[in-house]
């Protein structure tokens, strides 16, 4: 189990998380991994389905992956 201070380094966005609660830390790490998985899944969908995007692809992917996560977790 992890405890103490952990540095979560998403590309260009390092975040320091300080907690001694290993359950909370496990939840945070799981959330980051799920978010990253959906983000990369949407990148793959854009590529495979040749989806047209206006604006920056990264912004569109962030928005769609967030909407997918909201729909899945809220039902």
User: Is the pTM higher than 0.95?
Assistant: no
Task: Decide if pLDDT at 61 tops 80.
Answer: yes
How many of the other CB atoms lie within 10 Å of CB of 42?
21
Q: What is the pLDDT of residue 28?
A: 81
Where along the chain do its domains lie?
A: 22-74
CA 14 to centroid of chain Cα atoms: 13
C-alpha–C-alpha distance, residues 69 and 25, integer Å:
20
Please provide residue 55's backbone torsions phi and psi, each rounded to the nearest 5 degrees. Answer: 85, -155
């Amino acid at each position: 189990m992890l405890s103490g201070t952990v540095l979560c380094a998403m590309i260009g966005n390092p975040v320091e998380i300080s907690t001694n609660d290993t359950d909370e830390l496990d939840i945070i790490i799981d959330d980051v991994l799920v978010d990253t998985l959906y983000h990369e899944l949407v990148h793959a969908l854009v590529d495979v389905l040749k989806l047209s995007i206006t604006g920056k692809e990264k912004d569109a992917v962030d928005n769609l992956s967030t909407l997918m996560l909201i729909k899945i977790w809220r039902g």
